[in-house]
Structure 1
Amino acid sequence: MPFHIGSGCLPATISNRRIYRIAWSDTPPEMSSWEKMKEFFCSTHQTEALECIWTICHPPA
């Protein structure tokens, strides 16, 4: 089930596939250029959501 973020003009969606990749990756997630533009103009808070998913999947030691 995708994770929906924001309620502005273009809300962001984080797919199951992306969450799976974050969980199994050794590097923090990066946003695409389009995602960065939506974040800037529509305040989707996707950056914070991705950081939270990363922290949940990779808790500090």
Structure 2
Amino acid sequence: MPRILFDSHHCAGHALCHASAPEIYDLDENGYCKSPPAHIDSSLHTIAVEGADACPERALSIIED
């Protein structure tokens, strides 16, 4: 099952992860990414990667288990 790694210190609030994959990446009241689920269903893998790749700060990574 794929895992999402999130480094909140690198999130700058661009919200591109949410724009690309709102099913996975939620925003807090200030527009920053909330901690996404640690594990995602394999059916959401492609969407999770698109959201992570959209982050210009590289705050998100997808790890294959």
Shorter chain as denominator, the TM-score bin is 0.3 to 0.5
Which of structures 1 and 2 has the larger relative contact order (alpha carbons within 8 angstroms, sep 6+)? 2
TM-score when normalising by structure 1: 0.35
Q: Looking at CA atoms only, which structure, 1 or 2, has the larger radius of gyration?
A: 1
TM-score when normalising by structure 2: 0.33
